[in-house]
Amino acid sequence: MADRAEPGRLALNAPATRRTALRLLAGAGAAAGLGLTAGCASDDGRRTLRWWSPQAAPDQVKMYRAQIAAFEAGNPGVRVVFEPTSDEGYPAQLAAAFAAKQVPNLVTHLPSFTAQNYYARGLLEPVDDVARAIGEQRFFPGANDIYRTGDGTLCAVGIGNTAVDMFWYRKDLLQKAGLSAPPATWDELREACRRMQGGGVYGAALPYGMNGMTSLIFIGFIHRAGGQLFSPDLEVAIDSPATYDALEFFKSMREYCPAGASNFSWGESLTAFVSGATATGIYGGRVLANVAAQNPGIAGAISCTTYPTMSREIPAWTFNDFPCLFIPKGAPHLAETKAFAASLFAPPLYIDQLHAAPGHVLPTLQTIAADPAYLANPLIARYPAEIDLMTRTAAAGHNLGQETAKHRPNLKASEIISSNTIAELVQRVVLDGEAPRPAVAATAARLRELMRG
């Protein structure tokens, strides 16, 4: 396999010095090592399936291996290899894999709009039969609607849900501020933050950084003001009163967020709430596990609800990136791949997989959510109301790929987020104090440009 120039040309120099000889030895040893460690597929005749996921923390990988072992035991002749990818790196990795036709057999835990994007370019296999194998009625109602494509097939299946922008709050701080219930509207929220801020504690941990989190979170706020980015037919609809209300709100909340919020991304925002530096947070279920590990002192005082909307008439809107499972086209052993995909949803090992990130990766199957084995996890058992709320809210959640049930799938959603257009709008208006109207108009023009693509 080695295709590189051998160090044979060193015959020009007499190997006069020990140093040169040592280097030659090292090189030879390395060459041997290279040959030995070439990561080729196994030659024992088994069919190899490659599984990619960016959710690859050690606890999760342990569970994946258990699922793989179970499948291999039941399917001799098949070998499954798990290969971690990353949330930052997967666009480059998948692009290279598609371009070189070296695609993995299945990919899990990527957002729904990524799957839609790839499917629209003919890069994915439809997975209706996988959903049927799992048992379509076992899913939460409408759980897989977001994966339905223009031609009626499913481009992916939901493997987990995350209620990404739940409203987390500290019950003790609320009480101290004289409030009996968490805020339900923006005015109440502002008031609550005003009262709870002080003594080194900030009111909220909203993001104002130039990154994906700001874009994704702010889109949620446009919806909580009753607006949307696109109409159901995907016409740009951002230039509406709701957007201005959302910008106004976001601006007014700036003083309740720490100074560093202008560079907040997911990690900082999460840590701000978990460490007790802010009274409220905006995040998914990961809060529970992190509080238990990093700040157990407040574990009894945290709870969550859906994020307050502008007024009581406006329904809650929760962002779920809908981590899904999809199957790239062109990978070998399609039948085995689909069988393996379906097996990932089988309890009890699916439950173990979910328990590796309790509260954060929520089940997409109603049967699992009600399964006593699932509910027996200590963290889940401790916060049943919160888990139940997040599970239901996430299942009914949305994202830019499909802003409401009536919207057509937006295939450019991932590009819109990557372009930082929305984050730029937030920064311009909130941090730089630019006039909202021209900024929103410019954003609308940019969105149109991106949609034309």
Partner 1 sequence: MTNRQRPALIASLVTWPLVLLIAFPLLWMLLTSVKPQAELFTTPPDFLPNAITFEHYRRVLEETAFLQYFRNSLVVAVSTTVLVVVVAVLGAYSLVRFAYRGRELLASLVLFTYLLPSVVLISPLYLMLVKLGLANTLASLVAAYTSFALPYALWLLRSFMAGIPEDLEAAAMVDGASRMGAFVDVVLPQALPGIISTALFSFILAWNEYLYALVLVNSDEARPLTTGVMTMLISAFNIEWSLLMAASVMMSVPLIVIFAFFQKYLTSGFGAGGVKG
Partner 2 sequence: MAEAALPGARLERRDALLGLALIAPTVLVLGAVIVYPLLSAIYLSLFSLYTPTLEGHWVGLANYRAVFGSSGFWSALATTAVWTVGTLTLQVLFGLAMALLLHQNILFRSLARSLVLFPYFLSTVVAVLVWRWLFNDLYGVVNHALMAAGIIDAPVSWLGTMPNAMLSIIVVGAWKFFPFVVIAILARLQTIPEALYEAARIDGAGPVSRFFDITLPQLRDVLTIVILLRTVWDFKEFDLIYLMTGGGPVNGTRTLPLIVYQQAFGLNQMGLAAAHAVAMMLVMLVFMLAYLRRAGGRVA
Residues that bind partner 2 (CB under 8 A): 5, 9, 12, 91-92, 94-95, 98-99, 118, 121, 123, 208-211, 258-263, 265, 268, 271-272, 275, 277, 415, 418-420, 423-424, 427-428, 431-432, 450, 453
* CB of 58 vs partner 1, minimal distance in Å: 5
| CA-closest candidate to residue 440, choices 203, 229, 282 | 229
Q: Among partner 1, partner 2, none, what binds residue 199 when CB lies within 5 to 8 Å by partner kind?
A: none
Site for partner 1 in 289-318 (CB under 8 A): 290, 293-296
Q: Among partner 1, partner 2, none, what binds residue 153 when CB lies within 5 to 8 Å by partner kind?
A: none
* CB of 156 vs partner 2, minimal distance in Å: 16
Is residue 40 involved in binding partner 1 (CB under 8 A)? yes
* CB of 334 vs partner 2, minimal distance in Å: 20
Is residue 23 involved in binding partner 1 (CB under 8 A)? yes
* CB of 418 vs partner 2, minimal distance in Å: 3
**Residue closer to partner 2 (CB basis): 121 or 312:** 121
Q: Among partner 1, partner 2, none, what binds residue 42 when CB lies within 5 to 8 Å by partner kind?
A: none
Q: Among partner 2, partner 1, none, what binds residue 73 when CB lies within 5 to 8 Å by partner kind?
A: none
| Spatial distance between the Cα atoms of 77 and 136, rounded to a whole number of angstroms | 28
x/- mask, partner 1, residues 353-372, rule CB under 8 A, reads -------x------------
x/- mask, partner 1, residues 239-268, rule CB under 8 A, reads ---------------------------xx-
**Residue closer to partner 1 (CB basis): 245 or 386:** 386
CB atoms inside a 10 Å sphere around CB 17: 10
Q: How many residues bind partner 1 (CB under 8 A)?
A: 71
- Residue 50 CA from chain centroid, whole number: 21
* CB of 93 vs partner 1, minimal distance in Å: 6
Is residue 43 involved in binding partner 1 (CB under 8 A)? no
| Spatial distance between the Cα atoms of 338 and 122, rounded to a whole number of angstroms | 18
| Spatial distance between the Cα atoms of 252 and 245, rounded to a whole number of angstroms | 10
| CA-closest candidate to residue 165, choices 319, 335, 302, 276 | 319
Tokens (6 digits) for 106: 């299945």
Site for partner 1 in 108-167 (CB under 8 A): 162, 164
Name the burial class of residue 442, with classes exposed (0-12), middle (13-18) and buried (19+) by CB atoms within 10 angstroms of its CB. middle
Amino acid at position 37, single letter: T
From 64, 104, 118, 318, residue interacting with partner 1 (rule: CB under 8 A): 104
Q: For partner 1, which stretch binds (CB under 8 A), given 13-21, 151-159, 303-311, 409-417? A: 13-21
| Spatial distance between the Cα atoms of 194 and 173, rounded to a whole number of angstroms | 12
Q: What Cα–Cα distance (Å) separates residue 421 from each residue in 18, 214, 424? A: 60, 10, 5
| Spatial distance between the Cα atoms of 294 and 442, rounded to a whole number of angstroms | 43
- Which helix (H) or strand (E) element contains residue 288? helix 286-294
Site for partner 1 in 48-77 (CB under 8 A): 50, 52, 54-58, 61-62
Q: Among partner 1, partner 2, none, what binds residue 424 when CB lies within 5 to 8 Å by partner kind?
A: partner 2
From 45, 73, 99, 259, residue interacting with partner 1 (rule: CB under 8 A): 99
From 154, 193, 217, 270, residue interacting with partner 1 (rule: CB under 8 A): 270
| CA-closest candidate to residue 215, choices 285, 266, 162 | 266
* CB of 3 vs partner 2, minimal distance in Å: 9
Q: Among partner 1, partner 2, none, what binds residue 55 when CB lies within 5 to 8 Å by partner kind?
A: partner 1
Calculate ∠ Cα 179-167-235, nearest 5°: 130
| Spatial distance between the Cα atoms of 271 and 299, rounded to a whole number of angstroms | 14
Is residue 21 involved in binding partner 1 (CB under 8 A)? no
From 10, 373, 376, 445, residue interacting with partner 1 (rule: CB under 8 A): 10
Q: Among partner 2, partner 1, none, what binds residue 418 when CB lies within 5 to 8 Å by partner kind?
A: partner 2
Name the burial class of residue 56, with classes exposed (0-12), middle (13-18) and buried (19+) by CB atoms within 10 angstroms of its CB. middle
Exposure class string for 91-122: b at 16+ Cβ within 10 A, else e: eebbeebbeeeebbbbbbbbbbbbbbbbbeee
* CB of 248 vs partner 1, minimal distance in Å: 28
| CA-closest candidate to residue 199, choices 177, 216, 168, 178 | 177
| Spatial distance between the Cα atoms of 174 and 230, rounded to a whole number of angstroms | 36
